């Protein structure tokens, strides 16, 4: 065998040996990976089983409690608390899906956290009801997992609860404090002193800011070397009625609430102020036919009766029958009374059509007509005008605002007390008008 033949044989031998080594190494690697994968799969299955046991071991791993008042306030923020307690000996990762009332239209809010064993977590959200009546909270749903998060479990907690939404008692208490405490000027509510000549003299007292200059007692001032004023006692037990129009014009919405609901909240506030002031209050509602007729009274249960009557009012999609209202007032109210009518006029024709009846009511009683102007129109009228379309929209909105002002002016020219207000300022303007009329002795 020559040199070249031996060289080729040597190379071929080492090549075959290398191939055998590579095949053996590959086989060993494949076997090792298979073994590792098999071990990993067994471990994963074991952990999954353990996770399943941890998640499903307790029948009720979490307890749920919803804290919400039995009575909610219309148009006000009401807090709802959700208390979740971990009753197991392991931490739980969960997602809570609350059974929000249908009126909230909320299906995306989810409460999430990891809760340690035995701990309690409280979630709080706000519910602002825009409609009176019953609102139902549904069941709560949990999706839970353990620390491994390999298995999840969904379970339901039956927590249905129905609450009643009443006219806002919070607003009633708020305005009661504003009127009868020394905190009136910050929001526009002011208590006006009586300046009529037929009021009963009560006492002489030092002058304070806000007293009517005409009541200054100059003789007492000269003796005391300080401004002194006569204070008069207001006449009590006068008859005051709130009259609420429930026709289709009051169904117009502002910030999610109808004008009827604004009128109902304001009626509750106003009636409470009048009762606290010593007057008798009553309630009328009407649309195409008469609704509630609650005689004026100042007994202890009158406020409760007013609340219950206001709670049950619903808009009637008909035209208001003012002739029927006039006949009902004529038959029911025998003494001269203050009548506060909450209504809404969309056109001058609608206002002039009922004007004769309003004048006839005003002949025997003191009538105050309260109707609404739209803040949306004000925004459109004074918006920046960038296009021709904006100019036209602004002009139409300004014309409608002017139309409302003309209607208010025409009512005043016919001797009818008038309040033109936005829904948000309704209670403030109504209370101020009442205090003004009391101060003038007009009732």
> Model confidence over 267-283: pLDDT tens digits?
999 999 999 888 999 99
Q: How confident is the model at residue 364 (pLDDT cuts 50, 70, 90)?
A: very high
pLDDT of residue 236 exceeding 70, the answer is no
pLDDT value of residue 195 = 40
pLDDT of residue 1 exceeding 50, the answer is no
**Average pLDDT of the chain, as a whole number:** 81
Q: How confident is the model at residue 239 (pLDDT cuts 50, 70, 90)?
A: very high
CA dihedral 290, 292, 293, 298 (to 10 degrees): -160
| N residues, the chain | 443
pLDDT value of residue 151 = 75
pLDDT tens readout for residues 110-144: 999 888 888 999 999 999 998 888 889 988 989 88
Distances, alpha carbon 24 to alpha carbons 27, 30, 31, 37, 305, in Å: 5, 10, 10, 20, 96
pLDDT of residue 342 exceeding 80, the answer is yes
Residue in this structure with the two tokens 């055998």, named with its chain if needed: 20
User: In the chain, where are the structural domains located?
Assistant: 62-166, 169-198+236-440, 200-233
pLDDT value of residue 243 = 96
| Distance from the first to the final alpha carbon of the chain | 141
Provide the CATH number for the domain formed by 169-198+236-440 in this structure: 3.40.50.410
pLDDT value of residue 439 = 78
The SS3 assignment for 323 reads helix
pLDDT value of residue 183 = 43
Greater confidence (287 vs 392) lies with: 287
Q: Supply the pTM of this predicted model.
A: 0.73
CATH architecture of 62-166: Sandwich (2.60)
pLDDT value of residue 30 = 66
Residues 6+ apart with CB under 8 A from 263: 244, 245, 250, 342, 370, 426
Burial of 239 (0-12, 13-18, 19+ CB in 10 A): buried
Residue in this structure with the two tokens 């008008």, named with its chain if needed: 433
pLDDT tens readout for residues 370-383: 999 876 666 666 66
Q: How confident is the model at residue 211 (pLDDT cuts 50, 70, 90)?
A: confident
Mean pLDDT calculated for residue range 41-46: 70
Half-sphere exposure of 234 (CA within 13 A, CB side): 22
Q: How confident is the model at residue 3 (pLDDT cuts 50, 70, 90)?
A: very low
């Amino acid at each position: 065998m020559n040199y070249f033949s031996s060289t080729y044989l040597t190379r071929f031998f080492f090549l075959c040996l290398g191939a055998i080594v590579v095949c053996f190494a590959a086989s060993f690697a494949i076997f090792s990976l298979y073994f590792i994968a098999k071990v990993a799969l067994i471990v994963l299955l074991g952990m999954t089983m353990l996770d399943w046991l941890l998640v499903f071991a307790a029948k009720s791993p979490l307890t749920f409690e919803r804290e919400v008042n039995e009575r909610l306030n219309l148009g006000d923020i009401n807090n709802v608390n959700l208390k979740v307690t971990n009753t197991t000996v392991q931490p739980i990762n969960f997602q809570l899906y609350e059974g929000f009332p249908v009126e909230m239209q909320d299906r995306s809010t989810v409460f999430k956290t990891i809760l340690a064993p035995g701990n309690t977590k409280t979630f709080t959200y706000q519910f602002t009801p825009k409609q009176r009546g019953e609102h139902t909270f549904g069941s709560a749903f949990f999706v839970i997992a353990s620390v491994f998060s390999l298995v999840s479990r969904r379970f339901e907690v039956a927590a249905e609860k129905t609450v009643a939404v009443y006219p806002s008692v919070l607003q009633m208490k708020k305005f009661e404090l504003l009127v009868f405490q020394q905190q009136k000027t910050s929001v526009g509510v002011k208590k006006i002193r009586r300046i009529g000549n037929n009021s009963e003299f009560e006492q002489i007292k030092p002058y304070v800011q806000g007293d009517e200059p005409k009541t200054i007692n100059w003789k007492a001032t000269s003796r005391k070397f300080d401004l002194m004023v006569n204070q008069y006692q207001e006449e009590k037990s006068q008859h005051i009625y709130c009259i609420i129009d429930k026709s289709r014009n009051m169904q117009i919405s502002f910030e999610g609430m109808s004008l009827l609901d604004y009128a109902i909240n304001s009626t509750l506030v106003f009636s409470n102020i009048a009762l606290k002031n010593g007057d008798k209050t009553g309630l009328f509602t009407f649309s195409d036919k008469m609704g509630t007729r609650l005689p004026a009274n100042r007994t202890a249960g009158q406020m409760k009766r007013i609340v219950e009557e206001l709670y049950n009012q619903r808009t009637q999609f008909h035209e208001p029958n003012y002739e029927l209202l006039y006949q009902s007032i004529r038959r029911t109210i025998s003494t001269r009374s203050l009548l506060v009518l909450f209504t809404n006029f969309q056109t001058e024709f609608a206002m002039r059509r009922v004007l004769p009846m309003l004048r006839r009511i005003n002949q025997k009683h003191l009538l105050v007509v309260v109707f609404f102007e739209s803040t949306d129109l004000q925004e459109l009228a004074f918006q920046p005008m960038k296009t021709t379309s904006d100019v036209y929209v602004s002009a139409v909105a300004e014309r409608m605002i002017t139309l409302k002002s003309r209607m208010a002016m025409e009512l005043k020219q016919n001797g009818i007390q008038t309040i033109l207000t936005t829904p948000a300022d309704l209670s403030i303007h109504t209370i101020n008008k009442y205090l003004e009329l009391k101060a003038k002795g007009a009732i």
